[in-house]
Amino acid sequence: MAVQREFADKWAYDLDIQSIHNGEIYDINVLNQSIETILATAYGERLFNPSFGSDVPYRLFNIMSTAQGERILDDVATALKKWEDRITINKSELKLKINVDDNSVTIVIPYTIKRSKLRSIFKKKIINT
């Protein structure tokens, strides 16, 4: 019994009743985690769902050019449209910032939560070590 309580305390979320609808969670932190999971998972990485993920992990640290950056943003838009139906993104608002000084890439994804019409931004800096 103590083990179950400890487990429940570890994984408890403080969710507003407005962030759950028909079993779907619309909390911004949960959506950001979902976006990160989709973008960080390479196609074929999930054994029982090899089509899940994106090409982003394959493309991120290739030689960067304008064309390569556009392909990455296309991959982001395609993957999120396919796997995250709780949000809407406008492809023209996606940004990819390349910083050669610290060998990093920052992906900025403004999105709208379909159900609530709230806008948020997913921003992730990825450093190649």
Domain that holds residue 54: 24-127
9 domain-assigned: no
Q: What's the total number of domains in the chain?
A: 1
pLDDT in tens, 63-98: 777 888 899 999 999 999 999 999 999 999 999 998
10 domain-assigned: no
Phi-psi region of 63 (alpha: psi -120 to 50; beta: other; left: phi over 0): beta
11 domain-assigned: no
Looking at every residue in the chain, the average pLDDT score rounds to 82
- Joined together, the tokens standing for residue 26 give 């619309």
Q: Which residues pair with 125 in a beta bridge?
A: 106
Q: What is the pTM of this model?
A: 0.77
14 domain-assigned: no
Per-residue pLDDT, 24: 60
Residue 11 has pLDDT above 50, yes or no: no
Q: Are 58 and 45 in contact (CB under 8 A)?
A: no
Domain containing residue 108: CATH number:
3.10.450.40
CA distance 1 to 56: 43
pLDDT in tens, 15-37: 444 555 555 666 888 899 999 99
> Phi and psi (nearest 5°) for 34?
-65, -45
Percent of the chain with pLDDT over 70: 79
12 domain-assigned: no
